[in-house]
Structure 1
Amino acid sequence: MSEVVYFEDVSVGDTIHFGPLSVSREEIIAFAAEYDPQPFHLSDEEAAATHFGSLSASGWQSTALFMKMFVAEMQKVQGRQEASLGAIGVDELRWLRPVRPGDTLRGMSEVIETKASRNRPEMGVVRTRVTMINQNDEPVMTMKPIALFRTRPA
């Protein structure tokens, strides 16, 4: 059994690679129909008449796909996810390229800052830089999540 990875075990420069995950046309349309029903996410014809040129995934779907891949990677190592207390936000979220049907996504998360909480000694703040790329090694999304981690019990 692996040990829990607490806030004190996380260091600047630590990286986690995640993916790959392929995105289908049907998944793009289903997500858009439920959460972002804009014509260029739902119809090839409507998308062709925009700057996208063809059907593309919602940026919110790209963000959700990151979460799916990242959590799956965290769960591969027992103890890695147990101290996670969720997130308090995301800075600098950017959708750099459209995600298209058939794209295969993967990426990396790198710790860029750790800070013990002054008011809540049972937790610390971990900021990361995430880059998600497609099968052509083109960045499709970047962001800086701000996560909370449980500190090691006294």
Structure 2
Amino acid sequence: MKFDAFNVGDTFKTNTYHITEEDIMQFATFYDPQYMHIDKEKAEQGQFGGIIASGFQTLSLSFKLWVETENYGEDIIAGTRMDNVKFTKPVFPNDTIYVVVEVIDKKSTKKESGLLTIRMSTYNHHDQLVFKGDLATIIAK
């Protein structure tokens, strides 16, 4: 969608993603090798009672699900910032997540593009909020 097609208050819901223990460990081994993501025995004795997904993985999956809606399509030029990033609940193996995206701000910046800010709210299959963050992107008009 072009910048002008978005309106503040527009809301979109993504498809779902089922995350496995293997997904979590594979991602974390490379990007976030902390015990709660890769060491089953130690994680079971921790405060979450087992392996949990890295917040970075949750954020990445949330953005992947949003991009797959194809609302940005080829009209996106670049991301500019993320604000108010919050990981509110852990994502566990066998959780299924989805994202609700709301357009929260829109500013025309140039003749050919504008700055669009969305709020990504990611939920697990129990409809519990697990992640929230605001993402600003430059979109073609």
Indicate the TM-score class for this superposition, using the shorter chain for normalisation: over 0.9
| 1:48 corresponds to which of 44, 53, 57 | 44
Aligned to 1:27: 23
* TM-score of the superposed pair, with normalisation by structure 2: 0.94
Q: Which runs of 5 or more structure 2 residues have no equivalent in the other structure?
A: none
Q: Give the TM-score of the pair, scaled to structure 1.
A: 0.87
Shift of 1:11: 0.6
Q: Tell me which residue corresponds to 2:57.
A: 61
* Percent identity of paired positions between Structure 1 and Structure 2: 30
Structure 1 residues 57-106: Cα deviation after superposition (integer angstroms, max 9, x where no partner)? 0000001111221111116xxxx512111210110011111100000001
SS in 2 for 1:74: coil
Q: CA deviation at 1:53?
A: 2.0
Q: Distance in 1 between matches of 2:127 and 2:2?
A: 32
Matched residue, 2:84: 92
Q: How does 1:91-130 map to 2 (within 5 A)?
A: 91-117=83-109, 120-130=110-120
Cα distance in 2 between the residues matched to 1:129 and 1:31: 24
Letter in 1 for 2:83: D
**Residue 141 (1) aligns with residue 131 (2):** yes
Residue deviations 1:21-69, cap 9 Å, x none?
1000001000000100001100221112322221000000001111221
Q: Is 2:121 the partner of 1:131? A: yes
Cα displacement (A) at 1:19: 2.1
Moved beyond 4 Å, runs of 4+: none
Q: Unaligned stretches of 5+ in structure 1?
A: none
Q: Which residue among 57, 68, 71 is the counterpart of 2:67?
A: 71
Distance 1:64 1:127 in 2: 17
**Take 2:96 and 2:42, find their aligned partners in 1: how far apart are those partners?**
24
